[in-house]
Amino acid sequence: MLSTLIKKWRGERPSIFILSGAGLSVESGIPTYRGAGSDAKNDSPSLSKGYMRSIPEKVFEASNRRIRDFDACKPNSAHLAIAQFVRAYRLKADIIHVTQNIDSLCEEAGDTSVFHLHGALNQSLCQKCGATFPRKGFYKIGNQCPKCKAKFTAVRPDVVLFGETPHGLDWILPYLDEVDIFIAVGTSGTVYPAADFVKMATAAGAPIRILVNKEAPIASGFGYPMMDEESHSFNVVRLGNATSVLPMVLKEVGKLIDNIH
């Protein structure tokens, strides 16, 4: 029971931090692009800072393939569970959802708390003036920035390419110092700096750290072997698909919010 791990909130109201990875969206049909057997995993090297400078066409092609993949997908029950949790408890708790995913399924599910650590493919960025704006169509050489009218390769996906710094670290890292409940879902902890978030929350004294994942991470995941409670940063581990496990976990967290004052 989660209630045995926490007796009161550290602040005036509970602070909930949800970190999601590819496992949140994979059951909607979106490839992980990292796992073995993924037909699209070869696209990942093209999504790099170096390619954007030297061969932008490769970045555009890889992005367009992902856009086509995403268009055929819909939010699953895990996305919906987070959105419902936020709606039910937004007046009782501070809820932040940081996702490593670049799809927009969280927003489509109605999640108003989500922040994209690695950006999102439904947004474009002008490399000349820095403007961000909704994506229009597919990426190609010649797309024009609506603000400064720059063309050629100025308009690119507003996603964090390999070699670039994730968004929001300036406020995410301090926020982790205040978290009461940390929930990681659908991530094995192999992508940094997100893999360090739970360790930061643990060091800051977060009472409850929950992992929801299909498989226990390997030794390199989250920096721990994850085989016993003493050897990793999570004190609650629930293994299984996000669509079946996460709704139950959020229901437990909701009861905790209702019962602890």
Residues noted as catalytic: 118
How large is the greatest C-alpha to C-alpha distance in the chain, in angstroms?
59
Read off the tokens for 5: 């791990």
DSSP state at residue 165? P
**For the chain, how many residues are written?**
261
Residue 2's Cβ-side half-sphere holds a number of Cα atoms within 13 Å equal to 29
Residue 111 tokens, joined:
């999640």
User: Is there a contact between 89 and 10 (Cβ–Cβ < 8 Å)?
Assistant: no
What three-state secondary structure class fits 148?
A: coil
What would the two tokens of residue 89 be?
Answer: 């408890």
Sheet bearing 236-239, strands edge to edge: 114-116, 94-99, 15-20, 181-185, 208-213, 236-239
Q: Give the dihedral sign, CA 132/27/183/90.
A: positive
Q: Which long-range contacts (CB under 8 A, 24 or more apart) does 171-179 make?
A: 172/98, 172/117, 172/197, 173/200, 175/15, 175/17, 175/96, 176/17, 176/200, 176/201, 176/204, 176/206, 177/204, 178/10, 178/11, 178/15, 178/204, 179/15, 179/16, 179/17, 179/204, 179/206
